[in-house]
Structure 1
Amino acid sequence: MSAVKIPILGVGPDGLAGVTARSREWLVNAELLFGSEAALRLLPELKAERVTIGTDLPTVVERLKAAVGKQKIAIVSVGDPLFYGTARYLCDKVGPDLFEVVPHISSMQLAFARVKETWEDAYLTDLSAKSLDDVLDKIRGAETVGLFTSDVYPPGRIARELLARGIDYFRATVCENLGGRDERVTQGELTDIQGMTFDPLNILILKRKPNRPDVPRAVSTLARFGNPDDVFAQSRPKSGLITQAEVRSLALAQLDLHPGDVAWDVGAGSGSVGIEIANLVAPGVVFAIEQDAADFHLISANLETFGVKNVKPIFGTAPAIFSGLPAPDAIFIGGNGGEIARLLEAAFAVLRSGGRLVVNVGTLEMLSATYAAMKRLATAVDVQLVSIARGVEQMESLRFEAVNPTFLLRVRKG
């Protein structure tokens, strides 16, 4: 009996009636049935002994191993067992050769179909395995969110906790019992959802309202430099364009900053680089130059968050705005705009002797244009390709999410 594969079967809201004939045979003949509470509730007619898969997964694994070869086993999961289900964990801990996985349509997939939204770029997670605090920063910066809710985090509580943190810029859709006779789809504001109750089998979809800025993550301690991207208020849809924390740290090193220096942050965006420069040059001054009105207002908001007093926001277009500003010891340019050659020439011209000019670009086209322009300014151009991957814990595994590669270029005057 031990050579027989153990089935891990996806089921939908219609339970036994919605599975294939082969899956039905497995389930009816099972003597021991593993599954989450939600999955087991969908199969009330089965007579097998039941083992609930909860948060204590190691105990479940031991119970499963003890039964292999002694009982006919089946494992059930709502929707696709490999999509935020237990199949991956069991395959990792027990061995993939022991199992056969038969997926059902995922309830998340069905929920997005109901609201007619693509889910390819959405942030998706399961709140039965994580706390809301663990995923709050991902939700805060997302355009679209899909959540498997839980008994601990039903839609109403999620809505209340988001509103309590000032995250009020999502419209919510709750999809209950998808595919079942009592299916219901409820849409509304978070303020509407917070007081409502829903069937435990539901998906919550959050869709950001147009042109709403992110609410930055609150942290108890702010670093002098290298702060996480999401502690800075950023405008949408540009939040992914902030100079990433790791790149920011490398850029600050290349700027070779000293207390008392005067520095310019050109194309400052929400001010992340300028604020961290300010921490290193105090009592020197940073001039944060930005031509986008929405981003310019965010600089002031971030200055208040960080309590930085030595940054002076300047609203205007570079290089025309350079006239009248104190000569800098260091200039940082977020170089993704047009006319880069003219901008670099003007910036290099105003640098003090020994001054450093550092440029961050994100595309090969901008790298080529920027490198050529900087070679005309100085003999030596330092170029770095920065490729970062950040560790992310999922279940009991560690994986890495890549940050878009970017380039840093530096020249020194004289």
Structure 2
Amino acid sequence: MAKQSVSIIGIGDDGLEAVSNSVRQLILGADLLAGKERTLALVPEAPGKRLIVGTDLDAVASEIDAAGNAKVAVLVNGDPLFYGLARFLCDRLGNDRCDIIPHVSSMQLAFARVKENWDEAYLTNLANHKLDTVIEKIRGAMKVGLFTTDAISPAMVAKKLLARKIDYFTVYVCENLGARNERVTRGTVAEIAAQEFQPLNVMVLVRDADIPDQPRRSRIRSKFGNADEEFVQSTPKHGLLTPAEVRAVALAQMALHSDSVVWDVGAGSGSVSIEAAQLSPEGQIFAIEQDKEDEALIRENADRFGVSNVTPVLGTAPEVWSDLPNPDAVFIEGSGKEIARLAELAFERLNPGGRLVAVVVSIQGLDEVNKALTQKTSQVQVWMFNIARGKPQLERLRFDSLNPTFLVAAVKG
């Protein structure tokens, strides 16, 4: 005889008041009700036997399975799939045996209350991830949703953020969502650090506009290929910082010596310039940038990494090249016909045996740069990078893809 199906039901803090009549009947008619103690307390009128869900989920699944033909309802706050219990039970009991009935999750309610979308937000649960790791993820995020715990309060999170100089977020603490005593508190990181909140809360952090990241203070840095978060960056960051993985290959292809002269054309926040300076401690690195704010970031990053051989050059290429010494290596990044023209002109200035590396973000730009350089030398190589970085999201690991990138390296024969 087939075993009875298991109803995995999401409910809110208002218990049976906000559920449909069919869901109400499933809960009231269950022979076995499983859930966390607090969740089961929301339905005192349900007469079924109660199974408390604790940390031993295997034991819970075994007892539900052993219930055989009894009617079983598993109660979860919010969306059973969002927090992961439904997925666990489906894996253990089989998808065909589980019926999932979602409710609005507290995370969804929190973002609704503060009127922010959560499409690209970093979401996590402090019950499952170390606070220090989460803080570093917050550093470069635009929006964040946090499930706090009894042991890790919003004030504790805010104090840790302040200690890491991450004070560029507006913070919302959403308490008792869906209940009559619901409250949403808005404040700066410092203001939240000085307050106390009910244990049932969700934190939402929204990054202030146009504020650069404050990079982490790492004790260990590499000569090149350092994490993007090690650099002070402008916002929005897309296209303004060469990703660490691409930067590492680009610098390897530049084949720098201890005293190389390097041009970094369109330096942005200076990540390539800084790492070139570390690889060529006796060399001269010229970070060419037309944006005044980015020039300031180049100086700040050079100071952070302790390199003194980076010279920011404020102005437009190729006009500002006239006063620079001929380079042993050139790095250039961009798209469209302009990068092909600049690559061709920079290649002419290269010293014999010098190398030019171009990072191109469009297929059309790649074609134009490749054609321009192959007319100058037969020593041209081309790569395409499709990179995805692992990112924890609650109990799961997902991958965030970076934009496809093309790299062209040419040697002056």
In the superposition, relative to structure 1, how do residues 293 and 42 fare at CA in structure 2: closer, same or farther (>3 Å)?
Answer: farther
Distance 1:50 1:135 in 2: 33
Residues 284-295 of structure 1 aligned to structure 2 (within 5 Å):
284-295=283-294
More off after superposition, 36-45 vs 313-322: 36-45
Contact 1:84 1:125 in 2 (8 A): no
Q: What's the offset of the Cα at 1:88?
A: 2.3
Among 56, 61, 65, the alignment partner of 2:58 is: 61
Is the partner of 1:82 in helix, strand or coil?
helix
In the superposition, relative to structure 1, how do residues 241 and 324 fare at CA in structure 2: closer, same or farther (>3 Å)?
Answer: closer
| Cα distance per residue 1:152-174 (max 9 Å; x no partner) | 22222222221221111111122
Q: Which amino acid aligns with 1:51?
A: I
2:52 match = 51
Contact 1:2 1:69 in 2 (8 A): no
Contact 2:122 2:393 in 1 (8 A): no
Q: Which amino acid aligns with 2:39?
A: A
In the superposition, relative to structure 1, how do residues 184 and 272 fare at CA in structure 2: closer, same or farther (>3 Å)?
Answer: same
1:107 match = 106
Is the partner of 1:409 in helix, strand or coil?
strand
Distance 1:207 1:145 in 2: 7
Residues 165-244 of structure 1 aligned to structure 2 (within 5 Å):
165-238=164-237, 241-244=240-243
Distance 2:399 2:130 in 1: 20
In the superposition, relative to structure 1, how do residues 395 and 120 fare at CA in structure 2: closer, same or farther (>3 Å)?
Answer: closer
1:21 match = 21
Q: What's the offset of the Cα at 1:260?
A: 2.1
1:35 match = 35
Q: What's the offset of the Cα at 1:396?
A: 6.1
Distance 2:238 2:39 in 1: 38
> Identity over the aligned pairs, expressed in percent?
50
Q: What's the offset of the Cα at 1:40?
A: 3.9
Is the partner of 1:408 in helix, strand or coil?
strand
In the superposition, relative to structure 1, how do residues 277 and 38 fare at CA in structure 2: closer, same or farther (>3 Å)?
Answer: farther
Q: Which amino acid aligns with 2:299?
A: S
| Cα distance per residue 1:94-153 (max 9 Å; x no partner) | 543332211001222222222222221222222222222222222111222222222222
Distance 2:401 2:254 in 1: 25
Q: Which amino acid aligns with 2:26?
A: W
Structure 2 residue 366 is the aligned partner of structure 1 residue 367 = yes
Q: What's the offset of the Cα at 1:14?
A: 0.9
1:357 match = 356
Q: What's the offset of the Cα at 1:398?
A: 4.5
Distance 1:243 1:223 in 2: 16
Q: What's the offset of the Cα at 1:39?
A: 3.3
Q: Which amino acid aligns with 2:122?
A: Y
Distance 1:14 1:183 in 2: 11
Contact 1:38 1:201 in 2 (8 A): no
TM-score of the aligned structures, taking structure 1 as reference length: 0.91
In the superposition, relative to structure 1, how do residues 92 and 326 fare at CA in structure 2: closer, same or farther (>3 Å)?
Answer: farther
Structure 2 residue 219 is the aligned partner of structure 1 residue 249 = no
2:317 match = 318
Contact 1:141 1:239 in 2 (8 A): no
2:133 match = 134
2:281 match = 282
Q: What's the offset of the Cα at 1:239?
A: 5.5
Is the partner of 2:387 in helix, strand or coil?
strand
Q: What's the offset of the Cα at 1:352?
A: 0.3
Structure 2 residue 257 is the aligned partner of structure 1 residue 261 = no
Is the partner of 2:404 in helix, strand or coil?
strand
Structure 1: stretches of 5+ with no match in the other structure: none
TM-score of the aligned structures, taking structure 2 as reference length: 0.91
Distance 2:300 2:30 in 1: 60
More off after superposition, 43-52 vs 270-279: 43-52
1:162 match = 161
Distance 1:316 1:303 in 2: 19
1:10 match = 10
Is the partner of 2:410 in helix, strand or coil?
strand
Distance 1:152 1:338 in 2: 56
Contact 1:77 1:85 in 2 (8 A): no
Residues 321-360 of structure 1 aligned to structure 2 (within 5 Å):
321-336=320-335, 339-360=338-359
Structure 2: stretches of 5+ with no match in the other structure: none
2:272 match = 273
Contact 2:161 2:167 in 1 (8 A): yes
In the superposition, relative to structure 1, how do residues 40 and 255 fare at CA in structure 2: closer, same or farther (>3 Å)?
Answer: farther
More off after superposition, 255-264 vs 86-95: 86-95
Distance 1:51 1:154 in 2: 25
In the superposition, relative to structure 1, how do residues 389 and 62 fare at CA in structure 2: closer, same or farther (>3 Å)?
Answer: same
More off after superposition, 208-217 vs 34-43: 34-43
Q: What's the offset of the Cα at 1:226?
A: 1.4
Q: What's the offset of the Cα at 1:285?
A: 2.4
In the superposition, relative to structure 1, how do residues 201 and 288 fare at CA in structure 2: closer, same or farther (>3 Å)?
Answer: same
Contact 1:61 1:94 in 2 (8 A): no
Is the partner of 2:82 in helix, strand or coil?
coil
Contact 2:125 2:148 in 1 (8 A): yes
1:85 match = 84
Is the partner of 1:339 in helix, strand or coil?
helix
1:387 match = 386
Is the partner of 2:345 in helix, strand or coil?
helix
Aligned length: 410
Distance 2:393 2:209 in 1: 31
Q: Which amino acid aligns with 2:285?
A: V
In the superposition, relative to structure 1, how do residues 52 and 195 fare at CA in structure 2: closer, same or farther (>3 Å)?
Answer: farther
Is the partner of 2:83 in helix, strand or coil?
coil
